Amino acid sequence: MTSEQGKETRAAPDPDAGYRRARQDWDERFAGHAQAARQWRMMAMFNGVLMIIGLGYGVWASAMSKHVPYIVAHDELGRAVATTEAKTVTDWPVPVVKRELGDFVSRWRSVPADIEVLRADLNRMFSYTVNGSAASQRIKTQGRANSPFEIIKTRTNAVEIISVLHERGSTWQVEWRETTRARGTGKTLGVGHYKGSFVLERAAKLSPELISVNPLGIIVAHFDIQKLNGN
């Protein structure tokens, strides 16, 4: 036997062994991190879905919600004695309608000396109308023919409510007196006596903006006015 044959045969080195060891080391070291990352991504997606569902429900709830006005009556001592839901115009107590309708006429027909007060009055008055309605169009037409912003330059117009009466159904009658004075001197230029018939409705939707200025949602749908006397 030769010396070469007596030696133990050695296996040739594996060129891929280093790669396999490196891959095994990567798997052991970072596979756990990769799995954790996948779990975090799944959780983030789940939370995103929940957020979308929550936002959708919030939009739906806000669209479906409605504001229902209630009338609270008080006795002579100011104590609450009754609470009723105001579903129709006839549910409103007469004193409430008298005050609101009288306020509407006063703000509409008055021309104060201060132009900022005039603007505030007109904005508040229009909260009792619906844009595009017969009442709103008629007020705007009269305003273009006799603009209060032109009248205020030379004179003022004070309104005194004489009476507010319930005629029938949703129709109310208002009588008032208007006194026109020269701006600056205060000289009386004329006094007119008027009567108007107003048809009231309840607002179909009470938005937060409307509630802040017209909480009961009283809407003037139509009106007719006649001048009784004066110059």
Contact 87, 77 (CB under 8 A): no
Which residues are paired to 74 by β-bridges?
80
Summarize the confidence of residues 114-134 as an average pLDDT.
94
Work out the angle between the directed axes of helices 115-126 and 94-109 (0-180°, nearest 10): 130
Range in 20-29, 99-108, 149-158, 159-168 the model is least confident about? 20-29
pLDDT digits (tens, 9 = 90+) for 167-214: 999 999 999 999 999 998 999 999 999 999 999 998 888 777 777 788
Q: Residue 154: helix, strand or coil by DSSP?
A: coil
pLDDT digits (tens, 9 = 90+) for 59-80: 544 444 555 555 555 455 544 4
Q: What is the DSSP letter of 88?
A: S
Residue 27 pLDDT: 56
91 or 215, higher pLDDT: 215
Domains and CATH numbers, the chain: 88-230 (3.10.450.230)
What's the pTM? 0.62
Residue 92 pLDDT: 77
Residue 226 pLDDT: 95
CA–CA distance from 143 to each of 23, 191, 220 (Å)? 86, 20, 17
